[in-house]
């Protein structure tokens, strides 16, 4: 091939290099003689060596740095190591370790990856997009770093999130790593510690707001549409005040979704469907309480309401079964501090008038006065699910469903072991961050983690294979129900509510097929049969194996 890389260029192209696995014939043909040790290793041998190296690292951040360095030098080997050890590496490349990596981004920065789209460069965004490392891109993950996990404003350090997310698009969804692009929008930071940190690599300026901010987002989206009109653009870790308006503004203009709002909602609904089936009480017959009224919490509730309606409830009846508590208290229609999205879940003030509370009702009041069966948390309020609250809830139902979903681990509303103890082992539990297995009567029970990795990689595979032009609400709901149908707890109530990590790539294919078929049904993808979609998914799905080179 005339444009085939040779010598150092071939050796150091992370997307195509084989390192010591280049064969003797390839070494001669590509000008690599003398540039590598004599022995030719297989990918299997390289992966075992890397796993040994990984295992010698003493702490999780050091392991994260090692894997990022491996990704920078050999993407195929990086993904092979991850695929061989999904359970062990997932918490390292993503939550919870990625949170610390974002906080220490400037300190651990080694090599650039993706695009840094800075507000001072707002008049040169076409040039910025044109400088992207790869011409053809299927998936972009973008953040502005303002609400990283439960850690708040991390500024440009938020770049760790798109990098980590796209690693999972490839690992789980099979998106070709050469066709992914992480982006951080550097619009300043209000984190004073970062502004004073000599290692901070971002624009040293307070965040831009309001009209300036949305005008910049408009410019960015317009540039993406000009350069990559068919790309999937995923919004990640934007502040509550911005997340829903951005999604609402662009969701009908391009192929886009917000993972915090829609991905979190889908994986939570998937786990809830499994839990409701185990409890023998469908969602449409449950009273659901959510602690937290941010964009993620409201997104979860919107999908729960959609599923209740799908199960046969009128929309208003579904809304009446959902109770939302924020930092002030219960959302009621007499409050004047609610957004339009929050107001859709505000209970009539008259429903709580007889509760005898002064001021807005709190979580404990709702649990006391309502026949609650499901308690969810997306509040980042550590320990908010207290023993008295949980015990009262457990007294109302045989199998209480309790999901402390806040990230990272330090912000969880309760720990699974506490919930298990306070409910005498009856609670059906899923968390947002990974926790150690529960031990009850000498038996270990795995705790399901409502990690969005169950959904977004499959959605990326679905829209890429189906050539979809939009991500619809029904595509997300079908993804959630397909995940729920894969719950191990359906066959054995002692099993977790969500599939184990090694099974997730296979489950992702099933979800992708369902979401792709829904895209066709919704009219946002070319007409194809289920068999044709399955074939397309198999064709586009990338696996970590060295490609043979032509002579």
Residues marked as catalytic: 94, 165
Return all residues near 5 (Cβ < 8 A) that are at least 6 apart: 13, 16, 30
Indicate the helix (H) or strand (E) that contains 220.
helix 210-227
Dist CA 156 CA 101 (whole Å): 12
The answer to whether 451 is annotated as binding is yes
Return all residues near 218 (Cβ < 8 A) that are at least 6 apart: none
232-235 and 139-143 strand pairing: parallel
Residue 186, φ and ψ in degrees, nearest 5: -90, 95
The answer to whether 260 is annotated as binding is yes
The answer to whether 307 is annotated as binding is no
Task: Verify cis geometry, omega within 30 degrees of 0, for the bond prior to 180.
Answer: no
The answer to whether 13 is annotated as binding is no
Dist CA 271 CA 483 (whole Å): 8
DSSP state of 347: B
Dist CA 236 CA 436 (whole Å): 27
Indicate the helix (H) or strand (E) that contains 289.
strand 288-291
Helices (H), 228-314: 240-250, 264-279, 295-310
Angle between helix 295-310 and helix 240-250 axes, rounded to 10 deg: 50
Angle between helix 456-466 and helix 530-540 axes, rounded to 10 deg: 110
The answer to whether 407 is annotated as binding is yes
Q: What b/e string do you get for 333-364 counting C-beta neighbours within 10 Å, with b at 16 or more?
A: eebeebeebbebbbbeeebbeeeebeebbbbe
The gap between the terminal CA atoms of the chain, to the nearest Å, is: 8
- Do 450 and 403 touch, CB atoms closer than 8 A? yes
Give the three-class secondary structure for 500: coil
Indicate the helix (H) or strand (E) that contains 84.
helix 75-84
Indicate the helix (H) or strand (E) that contains 322.
strand 322-325
Dist CA 178 CA 134 (whole Å): 7
DSSP 134-173: -S--SEEEEE-SSS-TTS---GGGGGHHHHHHHHHHHHHH
- Do 65 and 22 touch, CB atoms closer than 8 A? no
Residue 361 CB-half CA count within 13 A: 29
User: For residue 70, which of 147, 203, 222, 177 has the smallest C-alpha distance?
Assistant: 177
User: For residue 220, which of 195, 194, 175, 253 has the smallest C-alpha distance?
Assistant: 253
The answer to whether 237 is annotated as binding is yes
The residue written with tokens 């993950």 in the block is 141
Dist CA 232 CA 137 (whole Å): 9
Return all residues near 354 (Cβ < 8 A) that are at least 6 apart: none
Annotated binding site: 147, 236-237, 260, 407, 451
Annotated binding site for (S)-malate: 147, 407, 451
Annotated binding site for a divalent metal cation: 236-237, 260
């Amino acid at each position: 091939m005339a444009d085939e890389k040779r010598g150092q260029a071939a050796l150091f192209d992370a997307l195509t290099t084989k390192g010591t696995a280049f064969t003797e014939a390839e070494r001669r043909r590509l000008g690599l003689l003398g540039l590598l040790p004599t022995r030719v290793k297989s990918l299997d041998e390289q992966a075992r060596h890397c796993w040994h190296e990984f295992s010698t690292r003493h702490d999780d951040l050091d392991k994260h740095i090692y894997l990022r360095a491996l990704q920078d030098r050999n993407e195929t080997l990086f993904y092979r190591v991850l695929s061989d050890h999904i359970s062990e590496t997932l918490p390292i490349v993503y939550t919870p370790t990625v949170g610390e990596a974002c906080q220490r981004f400037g300190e651990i920065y080694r090599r650039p990856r993706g695009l840094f789209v800075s507000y001072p460069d707002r008049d040169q965004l076409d040039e910025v997009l044109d400088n992207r490392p790869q011409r053809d891109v299927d998936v972009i993950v973008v953040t502005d770093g303002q609400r990283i996990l439960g850690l708040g404003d991390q500024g440009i350090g938020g770049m760790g999130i798109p990098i980590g997310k796209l690693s999972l698009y490839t690992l789980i969804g099979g998106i070709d790593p050469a066709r992914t692009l992480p982006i951080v929008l550097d619009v300043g930071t209000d984190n004073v510690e970062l502004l004073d940190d000599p290692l901070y690599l971002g624009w040293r300026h307070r965040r831009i707001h309001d009209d300036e901010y949305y005008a910049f987002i408009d410019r960015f989206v317009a540039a993406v549409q000009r350069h990559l009109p068919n790309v999937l653009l995923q919004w990640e870790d934007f502040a509550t005040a911005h997340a829903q308006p951005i999604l609402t503004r662009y969701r009908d203009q391009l192929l886009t979704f917000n993972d915090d709002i829609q991905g979190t909602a889908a994986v939570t609904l998937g786990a809830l469907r499994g839990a409701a089936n185990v409890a023998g009480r469908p969602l449409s017959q449950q009273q659901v309480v959510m602690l937290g009224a941010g964009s993620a919490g409201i997104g979860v509730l919107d999908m729960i309401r959609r599923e209740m309606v799908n199960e046969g409830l009128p929309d208003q009846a579904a809304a009446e079964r959902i109770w939302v508590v924020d930092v002030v208290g219960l959302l009621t229609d007499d409050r004047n501090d609610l957004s339009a999205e929050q107001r859709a879940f505000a209970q009539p003030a008259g429903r709580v008038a007889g509760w005898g509370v002064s001021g807005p009702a709190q979580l404990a009041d709702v649990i006391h006065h309502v026949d609650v069966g499901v308690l969810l948390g997306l509040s980042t309020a550590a320990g908010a699910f207290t023993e008295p609250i949980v015990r009262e809830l457990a007294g109302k139902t045989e199998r209480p469903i309790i999901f402390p979903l806040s990230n990272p681990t330090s912000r969880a509303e309760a720990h699974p072991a506490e919930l298990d103890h306070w409910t005498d082992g009856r609670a059906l539990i899923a968390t947002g961050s990974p926790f150690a297995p529960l031990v009850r009567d000498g038996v270990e029970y795995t705790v399901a983690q409502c990690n969005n990795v169950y959904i977004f990689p499959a959605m990326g595979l679905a829209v890429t294979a189906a050539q979809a032009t939009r991500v619809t609400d029904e595509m997300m709901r079908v993804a959630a129900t397909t995940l729920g149908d894969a719950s191990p707890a359906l066959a054995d109530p002692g099993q977790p509510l969500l599939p184990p990590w090694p099974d997730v790539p296979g489950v992702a294919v099933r979800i992708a097929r369902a979401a792709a078929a829904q895209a066709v049904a919704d009219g946002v993808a070319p007409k194809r049969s289920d068999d044709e979609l399955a074939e397309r998914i198999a064709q586009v799905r990338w696996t970590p194996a060295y490609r043979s080179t032509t002579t």
